[in-house]
A = this chain, B = another copy of it.
């Protein structure tokens, strides 16, 4: 008889929908020792909240997240609200002993993040850096672990969007300092920094610039950074919402002594791999379709050649988290991992302010 895990979700926007789907679907694609109960959906606008709860199978709704803190019929709370609200919620919930899942960026400052880690020291946590669970990204990690690209020389990542540049600036907290804390720094750069830490290890120092194109806007529309990694490689990062022509291009390239890897979220079923150990005349960048066999998540979803989509990165993250939870093993990325991202973002922000190199930590 599987253990019940009673779940509350705070947030019913786009992310609330993606998370709801993950909770609904995870048991279909992952073997879990848990029986997930979608117990409470929490949000502030009663009407859409009700509609969403009914559509996604949440048993009840609530309009004040604080009510969740003391309910002992809730085991796990998932926070999918605007960035600025994460810390307060997570700290209160963690202190109350809840398992806490939190959207990225975990916090809007290094200090907040630090408090969150401290508060959650004794509860399982996860931060939704969902792109680690793209099969092609997890596969990149495998290939690196196997030594296939050797010592790394270059890490190059961009996250390019264009919706505000194209005028899609309908009211969203994402463009407000109060709601988001920052612009692309927290929204996009956090993703590619997380992937860099995951794939290439610690960053030692950064030199960065931040730029705002829209008059009067308080947040960064574009942020760039050069970096040195602890492993001796050098790297660059760029996140922008003014890359006209790029809807959602989250891309990295890693050049090592023995090969290259390249990934682009807009073509998420594939990983590009250059094997420099092949005879020179046979060398070329190959596109590997990462749908199995013997590749990450190949047994979870469909058949080789049959692709999954954006939503499965959330399902995969949740599936991995719940399996780790059941096994009693540590899950990554938890709050401590996400705090490493916060530390890099903090260094980037300070570097852009001081117009100089800043050491990370």
Contacts and interface: CB of A to CB of B under 8 A. Distances in A.
Interface string A70-92: 00000000000000000000000
Given A224-B236, A236-B224, A284-B288, A248 B306 contact: yes
Given A226-B226, A288-B282, A246 B260 contact: yes
Interface stretch (A182-190, A267-275, A327-335): A267-275
Contacts of A281: 139, 288, 292-295
Contact of A236 (B238, B268, B270, B305): B238
Interface stretch (A96-104, A307-315, A337-345): A307-315
A294 B356 CA distance: 45
Contacts of A63: none
Nearest to A166: B276
A260 B284 contact: no
Interface residues of A, number: 88
Nearest to A142: B281
A123 interface: no
A153 B166 CA distance: 12
B285 A287 contact: yes
Contact of A226 (B25, B224, B292): B224
A245 B224 contact: no
Interface of A: 14, 18, 21, 24-25, 27-28, 55-56, 139, 149, 153-154, 156, 158, 161-163, 165-166, 207-209, 211, 213, 222, 224, 226, 228, 234, 236, 238, 240, 242-248, 255-260, 262, 266-270, 272-276, 279-289, 291-295, 301-312, 355-357
